[in-house]
């Protein structure tokens, strides 16, 4: 909780003249609090500096866990096939109860494998975004952008983490409670958190306890792997969108426009021009001719173009890391929403509440990914709006031509896609809900017949 309190302290320093705001890289590192905590648990330590021997030990443990998870997913699949062959849909609801857990296991394996296969790209993203993070004193407008993004990100990652931890506890605790109760000498049913196929009877003394502990460990690994992947995706996109917003603010303040009868001091462009005038030596600015202004603007524009291209490249890196995972994730979400909704409608037992919670978690996860994808779209388009709203009309023809090229490029939205199939946005979220509803109504009609 120390990191949480530190984050919510307002980053300002009071002086006699005005309120100023200060940031450093520690504020940036704090946004990775949740994934750092989780990745260390699931043996993925690319965000930590370990010795070669220690890294070898952790890597060995990771591949051991991955192998067990692969076997567990195969056991779930075999169990589903056996149940499907031996019973009808109306007689065996266990099939539908097994599918969400099996789908989550395969998704967790895909996410964790990408961590290992592309850990250098993850490290590069973390490093480059750290270098872009504002250091030192910032303006009130910059502080508002950074602080709002940080508050949203910290709230989302913490809430998403604890939501999934609660879901994990709800699934894992009842079988463990029954096992402890039975060990204490009370009568209790034999329960397992998941439906696995075993070539032997798992409900035997000692064998049952070992199988239960193994399922609990694998279930924890699955949930934490998915949470770490989703939170890293949100963190990367949050930092990229923040940089796009800061770049848009910088562009609005780029050109100096003299205050006159047409441009009032209270207009946004008038306020920015006054700030520009006050930041620089007034006599020197008045002595600049058109050629000198052009040189100054060219230098600023070059830095803006370089930053814009870097952000586009980083967004592409995020897609290369998450594109296939998102495709699998959204396909899974459509199927899982259908099956969880079906279980909630059909099952008339206490376990109905479990699938309502599962359904809520899937809806939250899908919305979270789509919302940050939508934020990336909006912030990248905001660069073109900032260019148009700047004082470009007071510059030379040469600068105007450069601005026109920048405007045309920035009108093409930067986005993350599901491996090229669809753009991640709130429109995608709507499409997933519609698809899940179609599957649900089809399955319900088949069941009634």
**pLDDT tens readout for residues 18-27:** 577 899 999 9
- Among 221-230, 235-244, 281-290, 315-324, the least confident range: 281-290
Task: Categorize the per-residue pLDDT at 415 as very low, low, confident or very high, splitting at 50, 70 and 90.
Answer: very high
Structure tokens at 26: 């520690």
Please name which of 112, 103, 109 lies closest in space to residue 194, comparing C-alpha atoms. Answer: 103
52, 69, 130, 168 from 64: Cα distances, Å: 18, 9, 33, 22
DSSP conformation class of 393: G
Among 134-148, 165-179, 362-376, 422-436, the least confident range: 165-179
On whether residue 308 sits in a domain, the answer given is: yes
Exposed/middle/buried for 354, CB within 10 Å: 0-12, 13-18, 19+?
A: buried
Nearest-angstrom CA–CA distance, 259 and 273: 8
Residue 208 falls inside a structural domain: yes
Question: Is residue 71 assigned to a domain?
Answer: yes
Q: Which domain holds residue 85?
A: 24-448
In the chain, the number of structural domains is 1
Alpha carbon distance 126, 183 (integer Å): 48
Mean pLDDT, rounded, of the chain: 83
Span 383-395, mean pLDDT? 89
Residue with tokens 């980053």: 11
Q: Residue 16: inside a domain, yes or no?
A: no
The full length of the chain comes to: 449
Domain annotation covers residue 245: yes
Helical residues (DSSP H) of 87-139, grouped into ranges: 94-117, 119-132
* Spatial contact of 26 and 18, defined as CB atoms under 8 Å apart: no
Of the segments 121-125, 347-351, 358-362, 439-443, which one has the largest average pLDDT value? 121-125
Looking at residue 2, what is its pLDDT? 38
Percent of the chain with pLDDT over 70: 86
Backbone angles phi, psi at 417, to 5 degrees: -120, 165
DSSP sequence for 283-337: HHHHH--HHHHHHHHHHHHHHHHHHHHHHHHHHHHHHHHHHHHHHHHHHHHHHHH
Give the max Cα distance, the chain: 93
Mean pLDDT across the stretch 82-92? 62
The CA-CA-CA angle for residues 128, 133, 139, to 5°, reads 155
pLDDT band at 411; cut points 50, 70, 90? very high
Give me the pLDDT at residue 4, please: 38
Instruction: Give per-residue pLDDT as tens, 282-311.
Output: 656 666 777 888 888 899 999 999 999 999
Indicate the Cα dihedral angle 372, 378, 379, 382, nearest 10°: 180
Q: The tokens 């192998």 sit on which residue? A: 67
Q: What share of the chain is helix, strand, coil (3-state, %, to 5)?
A: 75, 5, 20
Cα 428 to Cα 412: distance, rounded to the nearest angstrom: 19
Residue 14 in any domain: the answer is no
Which of 121, 123, 34 shows the shortest CA–CA distance to 368? 34
Region 198-204: what's the mean pLDDT?
85
Beta bridge pairs of residue 23: 136
Q: Is 20 helix (H, G, I), strand (E, B) or coil?
A: strand
Lowest mean pLDDT across 85-89, 228-232, 274-278: 85-89
174: pLDDT strictly greater than 70 = yes
pLDDT at 280: 67
Q: Please give the Cα distance from 305 to 403 (Å, whole number).
A: 10
Model confidence at 281, pLDDT cuts 50, 70, 90, reads low
* Structural tokens at position 346: 């059909």
Instruction: Quote the tokens at residue 259.
Output: 């205050």
C-alpha separations of 327 from 33, 189, 414, 424 in Å = 27, 40, 18, 10
User: CA-CA distance, 180 to 210, in Å (whole number)?
Assistant: 13
Least confident of 268-272, 291-295, 311-315: 268-272
Mean pLDDT of 263-288: 68
Rounded average pLDDT over 124-152: 93
Rounded Cα gap, residues 75 and 72, in angstroms = 5
Is 162 inside a domain boundary? Answer: yes
CA 268 from chain center: how many Å? 33
Count the neighbouring beta carbons within 10 Å of the beta carbon of residue 144: 14
pLDDT of residue 62: 85
User: pLDDT for 36-56, tens place per residue?
Assistant: 888 888 877 766 777 788 778
User: Which pLDDT score, from 0 to 100, does residue 90 have?
Assistant: 47
Residue 59 lies in a domain: yes
Q: What is the mean pLDDT of residues 427-432?
A: 91
Measured between alpha carbons, how far is 69 from 71 in angstroms, rounded to an integer? 5
R_g of the chain computed on alpha carbons? 27
């Amino acid at each position: 909780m120390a990191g949480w309190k530190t984050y919510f302290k307002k980053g300002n320093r009071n002086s006699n003249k005005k309120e100023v705001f200060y940031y450093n890289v520690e504020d940036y590192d704090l946004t990775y609090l949740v994934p750092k905590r989780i990745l260390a648990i699931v043996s993925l330590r690319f965000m930590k500096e370990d010795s070669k021997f220690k890294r070898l030990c952790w890597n060995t443990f990771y591949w051991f866990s991955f192998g067990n998870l692969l076997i567990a997913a195969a056991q779930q699949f075999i169990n589903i096939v056996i149940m499907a062959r031996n019973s009808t849909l109306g007689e065996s609801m266990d099939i539908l109860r097994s599918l969400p857990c099996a789908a989550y296991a395969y998704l967790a394996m895909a996410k964790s494998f990408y961590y290992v296969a592309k850990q250098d790209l993850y490290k590069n993203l973390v490093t480059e975004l750290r270098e872009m993070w504002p250091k030192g004193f910032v303006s009130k407008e910059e502080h508002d952008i950074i602080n709002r993004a940080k508050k949203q990100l910290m709230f989302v990652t913490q809430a998403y983490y604890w939501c999934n931890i609660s879901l994990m506890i709800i699934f894992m605790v009842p079988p463990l409670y029954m096992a402890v109760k039975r060990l204490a000498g009370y009568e209790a049913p034999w329960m397992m958190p998941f439906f696995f196929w075993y070539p032997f009877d798992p409900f035997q003394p000692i064998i049952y306890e070992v199988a239960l502990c193994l399922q609990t460990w694998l279930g924890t690994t699955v949930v934490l792997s998915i949470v770490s992947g989703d939170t890293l995706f949100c963190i990367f996109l949050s930092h990229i969108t923040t940089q796009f917003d800061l770049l848009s603010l910088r562009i609005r303040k780029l050109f100096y426009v003299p205050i006159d009868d047409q441009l009032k001091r209270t207009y946004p462009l008038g306020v920015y021009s006054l700030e520009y005038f006050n930041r620089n030596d007034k006599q020197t600015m008045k002595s600049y001719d058109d050629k000198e202004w052009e040189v100054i603007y060219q230098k600023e524009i070059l830095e803006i173009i370089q930053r814009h291209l870097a952000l586009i490249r980083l967004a592409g890196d995020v897609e290369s890391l998450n594109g296939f995972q998102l495709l699998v994730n959204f396909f899974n979400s459509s199927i899982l929403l259908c099956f969880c909704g079906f279980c909630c409608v059909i099952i008339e037992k206490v376990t109905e509440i479990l699938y309502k919670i599962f359904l809520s978690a899937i809806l939250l996860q899908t919305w979270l990914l789509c919302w940050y994808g939508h934020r990336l779209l909006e912030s990248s388009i905001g660069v073109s709006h900032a260019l148009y709203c700047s004082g470009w009309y007071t510059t030379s023809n040469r600068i105007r031509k450069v601005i026109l090229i920048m405007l045309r490029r920035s009108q093409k939205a930067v986005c993350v896609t599901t491996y090229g199939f669809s753009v991640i946005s709130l429109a995608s979220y709507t499409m997933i809900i519609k698809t899940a509803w179609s599957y649900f109504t089809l399955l319900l009609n088949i069941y009634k017949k």
